[in-house]
Copies of this chain bind each other. A is one copy, B any other.
Amino acid sequence: MSNLSDLDVQQTCCRSSLFRGLDGVELDDVLKAVEVREEQSRAVVFRQGDTPSRLFLLAKGFVKISQINGDGTPVTLRMIGPGEILACVAVFKQISYPATAMTMADSVLLTWPASMILGLIDKNPRLKDNALEIVGHRTQDLAHQLTRMATERVEQRIARALLCLTAQVGRKVPEGLEVGVPLSRQDIAEIAGTDFYNVSRQFQKWADQGIIIARRLHVTVLDLSALEAIAGKSH
């Protein structure tokens, strides 16, 4: 994997929602303490139940945050793209990670000790504002997801998952918009809150209608507006 230059690291930090707006000196503190981790695809970043020893900022790649309930059924709470923070609530509140984070592509993570972040936040009001902003946004988002999970049918939820994925890691190809990270039907199912049988069948149906092209570990969306109509429709 290609290493990130110091400049890349600096830019990623000062553009991130957490460190945004820090002045030069403060940012230097952050940069001095950073550790850069490179991970291959499908590597565990942290595990549900672990004590949060570190905060992460994804510089490059793609990460899945998923929770396992009592049954052992995994649910993906969120997919994380470059520039986003991982584990913020656990670190801020000093509770064990409520979910497991796994890279879905070769990734580069910037990471800091939790204690160091807590120290910084404590004396820096700007950081505290940013933290509140991030967590507030997460809360809103989860509330929407909950409402959708409670009221929408599987077809709509799968459509939404696809729309979200193309928005996050969509890559323009001649035929349309491809999800730029290899994801199995199972991966999609965990995002949509169903099983891979349903995803497979739904993909087949949409493929027949010319809405998508479904291949092993890959999907390309041909007709975005059709998907949006399905995701938005009442019944």
Interface, chain A (partner B; CB < 8 A): 67, 69-71, 73, 75, 77, 89, 92-93, 95, 98-99, 125, 128-129, 131-133, 135-140, 142-152, 193, 232, 234-235
Contacts and interface: CB of A to CB of B under 8 A. Distances in A.
A75 B99 CA distance: 24
Nearest to A137: B93
A139 B89 contact: yes
A145 B16 CA distance: 28
Contacts of A142: 139, 142-143, 146
Given A143-B142, A149-B149, A193-B150, A132 B71 contact: no
Given A67-B144, A69-B152, 18 more contacts: A67-B147, A69-B148, A70-B234, A71-B151, A73-B150, A75-B147, A77-B143, A89-B140, A93-B136, A93-B137, A128-B128, A128-B129, A131-B132, A135-B135, A138-B139, A142-B142, A142-B143, A145-B146
